[in-house]
């Protein structure tokens, strides 16, 4: 159990840089190219891992679940967040990540057969409610399109997390994300080719750095730790660690992107952190 939590925490820390890095990347790349390019780069790295360390091939019955993982975390979440970050700040987007634990837990119940206690749901709903309340309470600068895109991204990501964790119990964490990336490789390569920038010279170093981070860390390395944590510690329980992600993400958004972090953001994040302890106790 402890190993699962530590592995999950490392994954969360890695994922915390995803949205600030995406914000940097969309300054130079279109959302479609960014989504497809990061998937292609990560898929090639995943293929190298599978080649260097030969693994058991997924069964025929694993194909559909791998497609679900690919649709959720390889395509859906990266694309919708990239689109959302054209309308809202990185700091605002990270607050929506506070909804991920609830989405992951719900899909963990539906797909993973987990049954957390009633108190777990109270803490999860309290954390998610805080996030939603923050979004509504700060509506002056709200982009409805950006907020809806983030909610859609969270739902798809929660499904992909739960499905991937279920497969990881049998195939292993890095194996699942590597196979899912390969499932999406051909369509992503086609989209990357069709949407590639006409010229590379105008693209700044920060945009390239953002692309590199989301391709290597967000799309591959983070999942190695995350899926392992979910498989060892439980989808619903370890999934609550995502409530910590806004805390790390807000700090990175302020330091890297220069977004303003208000005291209400900090207060909202602080409260959801408290919910982690309660949810963990009753998972």
Residue 54: domain span: 2-282
Torsion of CA 240, 246, 247, 248, to 10 degrees: 100
- Residues 140-159: pLDDT tens digits? 455 788 888 988 999 999 89
pLDDT band at 281; cut points 50, 70, 90? low
- Residues 229-268: pLDDT tens digits? 888 887 777 777 877 777 777 677 677 666 666 777 777 7
Tell which residue, 160, 45, 178, 41, has the closest CA to residue 108.
160
- pTM of the shown model: 0.81
- How many domains is the chain built from? 1
Q: Residue 142: left if φ>0, alpha if ψ -120 to 50, beta else—which one?
A: beta
Give the C-alpha distances (Å, rounded to integers) separating 152 from 107, 123, 156, 174, 255: 14, 22, 6, 25, 27
- Crossing angle of helices 173-195 and 31-52, rounded to 10°: 140
Lowest mean pLDDT among 115-124, 162-171, 259-268, 272-281: 272-281
Cα–Cα distance measured from residue 46 to residue 35, given in angstroms and rounded to the nearest whole number: 16
pLDDT band at 72; cut points 50, 70, 90? very high
């Amino acid at each position: 159990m402890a190993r699962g939590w530590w592995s999950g925490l490392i994954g969360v820390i890695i994922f915390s840089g995803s949205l600030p890095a995406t914000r940097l990347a969309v300054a130079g790349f279109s959302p479609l190219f960014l989504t497809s390019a990061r998937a292609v780069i990560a898929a090639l790295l995943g293929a190298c891992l599978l080649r260097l360390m030969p693994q058991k091939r997924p069964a025929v019955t694993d194909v559909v679940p791998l497609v679900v993982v690919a649709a959720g975390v390889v395509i859906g979440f990266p694309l919708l967040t990239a689109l959302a970050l054209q309308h809202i700040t990185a700091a605002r987007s990270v607050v929506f990540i506070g909804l991920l634990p609830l989405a992951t837990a719900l899909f963990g119940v539906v797909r993973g057969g987990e049954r957390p206690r009633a108190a777990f749901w109270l803490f999860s709903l309290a954390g998610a409610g805080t996030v939603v309340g923050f979004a509504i309470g700060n509506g002056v600068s709200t982009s409805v399109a950006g907020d809806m895109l983030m909610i859609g991204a969270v739902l798809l990501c929660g499904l992909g997390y739960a499905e991937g964790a279920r497969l990881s119990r049998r195939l292993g964490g890095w194996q699942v994300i590597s196979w899912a990336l390969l499932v999406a490789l051909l369509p992503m390569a086609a989209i990357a080719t069709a949407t590639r920038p006409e010229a590379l010279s105008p693209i700044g170093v920060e945009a390239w750095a953002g692309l590199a981070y989301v391709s290597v860390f967000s799309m591959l390395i983070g999942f190695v730790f995350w899926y392992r944590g979910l498989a060892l510690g439980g989808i619903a329980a370890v999934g609550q660690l995502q409530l910590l992600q806004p805390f790390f993400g807000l700090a990175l958004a302020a330091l890297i992107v220069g977004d303003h972090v208000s005291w209400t953001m900090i207060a909202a994040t602080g409260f959801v952190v408290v919910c982690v302890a309660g949810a963990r106790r009753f998972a």
